[in-house]
Structure 1
Amino acid sequence: MKTTEFIDILFVEDSELDAELTLIALREENLANNVIWLKDGAQALDFIFAEGEYSHRNIETQPKLILLDLKMPKVGGIEVVQRIRSDERTKSIPIVIMTSSKEEKDVLDTYKLGINSYIVKPVDFDKFSKSVKEIGFYWLLMNQSPLPG
């Protein structure tokens, strides 16, 4: 696991295949140096709020971007977004939903909660890879974040 003191992307995805494809695409663009990959929403909340196994982490050091799946074990993506957006310390962290769900309810519910973008994962590897690269490039290099760092 990477150091948690400097992190660009918190990547929360339960599918090992989707995670590996995403990490490969980020590496190809040299955007994977400071990525933490977690496999469920409970781990993500522990990391973000410096609880549980991440209680040693400085809560003031937050990721520049959260890439978040919706359908995960333990705690789903919608619950993760609710908790992040309800806390003053974390509510300005950009959140991009990356999911296979095209359900209109999921899109509407997450935007109402304050996500920054909703991306439906393409099935085709090349399109998936291109999407991930564009997301990383935009949010890490082009976007002006309100967060320090």
Structure 2
Amino acid sequence: MKKIHVLLVEDNEGDILLTTEAFEESAIPTKLSIVKNGEEAIDFLFKRGRYKDVERPDLVLLDINLPIKNGHQVLMEVKSNDDTRNIPIIVLTTSDAQQDINKAYFNYANSYITKPLDIKEFVVAIQQIEGFWLELAKLSK
């Protein structure tokens, strides 16, 4: 079984650790790549610079509050390009502001999830993302 490649775009070390641990506990074979700002996310997804030889991710978990380029900017750039628009992007962020939710969906986010503050709930949220996006849904290749 081929590993599902997930790109995590997150600058918070604690959230990176929790997400990594949640994927490690999964029964679904997963390769997790991590970038820590919006500019690196764009470079990774468009295979630029040091990311020119990376494998295209099957799924992106994108924080909104990122340095250099925020998640909304990343979303707009990725979803407006024919080569990358079909990569599912799940916004996973602390913001529950309706303005952020509306803007993410306007820019074609595939779903918007507010990060639970409780560690156990956070792990459950990651597992639910896995269950839907990596088991139930069919991903584009």
TM-score range, shorter chain: over 0.9
Structure 2 residue aligned with 1:110: 104
1:55 CA drift (Å)? 2.3
Question: Paired residue for 2:13, among 8, 12, 16?
Answer: 16
CA distance in 1, matches of 2:21, 2:28: 10
Number of matched residues? 139
Q: Quick check: 1:120 aligned with 2:120?
A: no
Q: Quick check: 1:65 aligned with 2:59?
A: yes
CA distance in 1, matches of 2:121, 2:29: 19
Structure 1 residue aligned with 2:35: 38
Q: Where do 5+ consecutive residues of structure 1 fail to align?
A: 1-5
Give me the CA root mean square deviation. Answer: 1.4
Structure 2 residue aligned with 1:47: 44
Please report the TM-score for the alignment, with normalisation by the length of structure 1. Answer: 0.88
Contact kept? 2:91, 2:113, Cα under 8 Å = yes
Please report the TM-score for the alignment, with normalisation by the length of structure 2. Answer: 0.93
CA distance in 2, matches of 1:23, 1:130: 13
Structure 1 runs of 4+ off > 3 angstroms?
30-33
Identity score, percent: 34
Structure 2 residue aligned with 1:3: none
